[in-house]
Amino acid sequence: MSLTLLEAAKLMQNPLQRGVVEVFPRTSPVLERLPFMPVSGNAYTYNQEHALPGVAFRGIGENYTESTGVVNPVTERLVILGGVSDVDRALVKTQGNVNDLRAIHDGLKAKATALKFTRTFFKGDSETAPREFDGLQKRLTGNQLIAMGNTSGGDVLTLDKLDELIDAVTGRPDVLFMNTAMRRKVNTLVRASGAAIETVSDSFGRRLEAYAGIPIAVIEDDETGAAILGFTEANPGGGSSVGTSIYAVRFGAGEYVSGLQAGEMDVIDQGLYSGGVAYRTLIEWICGMAVFHPKSAARLYGIKNA
């Protein structure tokens, strides 16, 4: 059964596991929405739709011309993500309850893991970092890669281009991912057009701005404090690498953009560890992602900060 992490956490009986897993969707707008499909093994192979077969009307006595659709076989490799969280037993003796202290440190480890996944979802590259999966920046090509313009140093965002990005996703995207500066720019453009700024609620009741009824989810820093969608990208027109991107994504297990996991995320209390001086919690997740439909996501790039 395919569930988001938020839905899966509600079904978990282990309070330690449930408490850690609940941190992930609260921390990451991606993990709040991304459904995860169960996978047996360390890889998953599927067919991605490329071209539909031909059909036609026919007259009496006529035959159809044979036409077969085209699918591309794709194999996604799962990776292992996680870490360990240690709390020195001396801190427990001097600062209070072991469960409270461990919850703090386990929460920090979970938050860092969620941000690491989020960065990889957009920027992952298995060629330069073999232990991670490929992100959307590497996967999206052709018509799913839309240039803001061809000016050296990048171009200013326009609502026309944002509409083009939305139209590049089959059906309708579930969310627009961008940095805080781009969210402000969208709001400025909407106000300048005389329209009212739309708002929607996320899964936790938090208010989000929206454009054309599509939630705008802000992607901020990764676990190292570096901006995930910062103004550090190369621009289609060349010049300094000071561009950023906006992503439109439609989620759906087995249909559009989906997460993959081999079993649930493991959250294991290993008790006293390292010679008996620290309480240790192991967080480990065998995970990946798949893009089942070639038009389930699109990227608008080459946007400068202006």
Q: What is the pLDDT of residues 91-122, one digit of tens each?
A: 878 887 767 888 889 999 999 999 999 999 99
pLDDT reported for residue 98: 66
The predicted structure's pLDDT at residue 100 = 80
Residue ranges in the chain whose pLDDT is less than 50: none
pLDDT at res. 68: 79
pLDDT number for residue 1: 66
Distance CA 83, CA 72 (A): 35
For helices 159-167 and 180-192, the axis angle rounded to 10 degrees is 110
Residue 32: which of 248, 247, 219, 285 has the closest Cα? 219
